[in-house]
Amino acid sequence: MALLIDGKELAAKVKAQVARQVEEMTDRPGLAVIIVGDNPASRVYVNGKKRDCGECGIYSEEYALPEQTTQHELLELIGELNGRPDIDGILVQLPLPAQLDEKQVLLAISPEKDVDGFHPMNVGRLMTGEPGFRPCTPAGVMRMLDEYGIEPEGRHCVVLGRSNIVGKPQALMLLERNATVTVCHSRTPDLAAQCRRADILVSAVGKVGLVKADMVKEGAVVIDVAMNRNEAGKLCGDVDFEPVAAKAAYITPVPGGVGPMTRAMLMVNTLQAARQHGKS
Ligand code: NAP
């Protein structure tokens, strides 16, 4: 039976570490969170982020903009926040309403305040192995592996999904740690055969029951990034949890796995931004 990787407990530990460091600073870090429209899921995420800031002693500001906000208005706000020394991180909650150009918006955030790690400058830094902000979800996965003493070097890692926010940066971060990485997506033939080769399997697809026990190698590490709703409306991942847990060496639950770690890593990135801005 697999050992459960407790993301909730680990996230609490990471946030407590951030809180201790912030407590010792005379100039505390600041995060601005922008939400456009009234997407209920986005509202839940933003509330969570504000709560995390409170727990860590990080100053936070929320900008809740109306659904009809124009590109010009949003870019103007970002420009203003880019210039404010009390704000170290700027986060625009995605998705944005259809009239807004997401690429241009992410490009407008100063790379030095891009705590989500989505600006092309930070994507390039990850690609070339230079220090920069790493996207929170894959960074949270790496932290989980580290905390549980799971070494990616020399292991075969299979990443399911190739999105810009999870799959691709996850693959690069594993590669950075000397893993051999296979990236799978919707056009990958025989997904099961690819998965069975994985020492570490990271699933970030968004399909209930995608990863079945016969797709997982005995003793593998299984990380479930997905956040889906099953037929009963219950939060679940991509992995068929019970049967896979019976075969794997380590497994993350959903909820209580990668989700809380994603939030904790945003606090880590905000602290890093503040330090880079000379706050101590
Ligand atoms: P996304 O942009 O929709 O990407 C999904 C990826 O899965 C795509 O690359 C897609 O391939 C691939 N895919 C779709 N069907 C597949 C199949 N049958 N076999 C193999 N690959 C398949 O999603 P995302 O934003 O990366 O998020 C993925 C999941 O993670 C979602 O459930 C999301 O809610 C969750 N998530 C969780 C957190 C967290 O904090 N825990 C954070 C972010 C996302 P193509 O590229 O070929 O279309």
For the domain that residue 81 is a member of, what is the CATH number? 3.40.50.10860
Q: Count the domains in the chain.
A: 2
Is there a single domain that holds both residue 148 and residue 240? yes
Share of the chain above pLDDT 90, in %: 100
Residues 140 and 200 both lie in one domain = yes
Tell me which residues are annotated as active site.
49, 93, 116
Classify residue 251: in a domain, yes or no. Answer: yes
Domain contains 228: yes
| pLDDT tens by residue, 197-251 | 999 999 999 999 999 999 999 999 999 999 999 999 999 999 999 999 999 999 9
Question: Do 167 and 106 fall within a single domain?
Answer: no
In the sheet where 156-160 sits, what is the strand order? 3-4, 250-251, 221-224, 200-203, 156-160, 180-184
What letter represents residue 214's amino acid? D
pLDDT in tens, 117-176: 999 999 999 999 999 999 999 999 999 999 999 999 999 999 999 999 999 999 999 999
- Whole-angstrom Cα distance, residue 11 to residue 28? 21
* CA-closest residue to ligand 1 atom 4: 163
Domain with 238 in it: 136-259
Residue 34: partners with Cβ closer than 8 Å, 6 or more residues away: 62, 63, 65, 74, 77, 78, 90, 91, 92, 93
Q: Which atom of ligand 1 is nearest to the CA of 210?
A: 18
For a substitution probing ligand 1, which of 183, 208, 225, 228 has the most ligand atoms within 8 Å of its CB?
A: 225
* CA–CA separation, 30 and 165 (whole Å): 23
**In a domain? residue 38:** yes
Q: Which residues face 33 on adjacent strands?
A: 62, 91
**203 within some domain:** yes
What global pTM score does this model have? 0.98
